[in-house]
C-alpha cells in the first residue's frame, strides 16, 4: 500500500507527483530543491543557505510521514560543482 505525504511546511508539488510517498513502512522523497514553502521562491544566498532549506523541507516531509532524520537510510545529494561539497554537507 502506498500513501502520499502532503504538508504545507515543504514546497508543494507542481506536477503530477507527491511531495513524498510512504510504501511498506518506507518514506520516499526525491527532487527536493531550495524552495521556501511560504514564498515558493528559491532561498537567497549560497550553497549553505540552499542546503539548509532543502534539509528543512525534508525534515518537514519526514515529520508529516511520522518519522525523522535519525531513521534515514540513504540520501543522495547532487551538486553543480564539487567545490560546494564541504559547505553543503555542514548542514
- Rounded CA gap, 70 and 33, in Å? 21
Q: Return the residue matching grid coordinates 539548509.
A: 52
- The CATH number of 2-88 is 3.30.1330.40
How far, in Å, are 2, 80, 90 from residue 26 at the CA level? 10, 28, 26
Residue ranges of the domains in the chain? Answer: 2-88
- pTM (two decimals): 0.90
DSSP 30: -
Q: Per-residue confidence of the chain (91 residues) as pLDDT tens digits?
A: 899 999 999 999 888 889 999 999 999 998 889 999 999 999 999 999 999 999 999 999 999 999 999 999 999 988 989 999 999 888 6
Amino acid at each position: 500500500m502506498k500513501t502520499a505525504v502532503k504538508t504545507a511546511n515543504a514546497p508543494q508539488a507542481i506536477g503530477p507527483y507527491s511531495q513524498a510517498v510512504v510504501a511498506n513502512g518506507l518514506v520516499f522523497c526525491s527532487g527536493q530543491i531550495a524552495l521556501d514553502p511560504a514564498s515558493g521562491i528559491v532561498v537567497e544566498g549560497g550553497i549553505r543557505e540552499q542546503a539548509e532549506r532543502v534539509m528543512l523541507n525534508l525534515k518537514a516531509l519526514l515529520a508529516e510521514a511520522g518519522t525523522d532524520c535519525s531513521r534515514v537510510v540513504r540520501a543522495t545529494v547532487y551538486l553543480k560543482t564539487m567545490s560546494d561539497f564541504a559547505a553543503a554537507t555542514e548542514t
